[in-house]
Amino acid sequence: MIYFDNASTTKICESSLKYINEFSVNNFYNPSSIYKQGADNKKEIDAVKSIIAKTLGVEFKDNIIFTGSATEANNIAIQGSIKKNFGKLLFTEGEHPSVYNTASYLKNKGFNVEFIKLNKNGEADFDDFAKQITENTSFISVMHVNNETGAINNLDKFIELKKNICPNAIFHSDGVQAFGKLKYALNNDIDLYSISAHKIYGPKGIGALYIKNKNKINPIIFGGGQEYNLRSGTENIASITGFKGAVEEISYNSDNVKAIRDYVIKNLEGDFKINGNGSPYILSISYKGINGETIVHMLEENNILISRGSACSGSKVGNRILSSMGLPNDYVKGSIRLSFSKNNTIEEAKIVTQKLNECVSKLKGM
């Protein structure tokens, strides 16, 4: 089996498995318990926060809270920030469904929500951002790396304009496809940054949210007051330490995945377009006049797993992000996504490219 759908999820690494086993079987104690074993696990959680904070380039572990997923982290960041007297809320059209659908929900609730257009490369259109941002803007969310196309947004550029126009506006970024892959120290003016473990060889069901000022966030989940009363619920010590294992293996060496991506692009055949050109980990391809879903299933029959795009919207018709980039409908229908990991090889890329070309040729001949 060749797995080229790593933007959806990744194979868990050995370090994560080691920690998960240790804190599921031996040190399984509730971190909120007052006896020593519970207190020790609480210290372990704090240690993991320190490691993540250091990786993000921030100083304090207390700026990190753990969540059940990046989707939850995004919801806490957005819904926990919202106040009744908020002015304009700006989101990009390229956001993950956990951000985009939350924004749409708020718009339906009567908030002044507007969306920033995408340019042809899949990046948030800075000129459109400059037109829409006002002194009355209260919240801005700009994804760091797009999960569909790999397009990278220059967060510092957006933040600089935000500082000049509406310095008190809250700035959030979904950093799921950037964290552990793109070396970036958080700009001091980023208020909220969401990350996930299972995109970097950690366990599913654990995410985290960087919060610059916890006093500006209200909880959206209520309970026992864990995570500074911002995310109540018994701490998932096994997955949190599994997250640590994944972070400990971060290398930022993307030469291997870049070589794979470059090989695929160079050896593709047929009438296709490359959508976006940023992260080496993601390759979005669109074929004219071919159904992308058919390609996915044909490759599956050859023990090759790819996707049409985001797993969170894989069953939906069309592609919101590609359409926002101005891609014609006949290319949108023929879109597929290949996404790579440190575990993939050039030999796999050769097989996938050959089989992909064969599938396209067969479909074109029908």
Q: Same domain for 205 and 141?
A: yes
Q: Same domain for 323 and 291?
A: yes
DSSP 297-348: HHHHHTTEE-BSS-GGGTTSSS-HHHHHTT--HHHHTTEEEEE--TT--HHH
Q: Same domain for 192 and 283?
A: no
Q: What is the mean pLDDT of the chain?
A: 95
In this predicted structure, the answer to whether residue 316 has a pLDDT above a threshold of 60 is: no
Domain that holds residue 98: 14-248
Q: What is the pLDDT of residue 364?
A: 85
Count of domains forming the chain:
2
Sign of CA dihedral 154, 157, 160, 166: negative
Global confidence as pTM = 0.96
Q: Same domain for 196 and 300?
A: no
- Out of 248, 277, 310, a domain closes at 248
Active site members = 312
Question: Backbone phi, then psi, for 45, in 5-degree steps?
Answer: -60, -45
Estimate the share of the chain in helix, then strand, then coil, as percent rounded to the nearest 5: 40, 15, 45
In this predicted structure, the answer to whether residue 315 has a pLDDT above a threshold of 50 is: no
Distance CA 7, CA 5 (A): 6
Q: What is the pLDDT of residue 313?
A: 52
Q: Same domain for 57 and 96?
A: yes
Q: Same domain for 334 and 319?
A: yes
Q: Same domain for 117 and 192?
A: yes
Q: What is the CATH number of the domain that holds 217?
A: 3.40.640.10
Q: What is the CATH number of the domain that holds 348?
A: 3.90.1150.10
Q: Which residues pair with 196 in a beta bridge?
A: 207
Over residues 224-231, mean pLDDT? 95
Task: Please list, in sequence order, all residues whose beta carbon lies within 8 angstroms of the beta carbon of residue 233, skipping any fewer than 6 positions away.
Answer: 68, 221, 223, 224, 226
Q: Same domain for 216 and 277?
A: no
In this predicted structure, the answer to whether residue 314 has a pLDDT above a threshold of 80 is: no
Q: Same domain for 337 and 291?
A: yes
Mind listing the pLDDT tens digit for each residue in 70-97?
999 999 999 999 999 999 999 999 999 9
Q: Same domain for 334 and 209?
A: no
Q: Which amino acid is at 25?
A: V
Radius of gyration over every alpha carbon of the chain, rounded to an integer in angstroms: 21
Q: Same domain for 117 and 263?
A: no
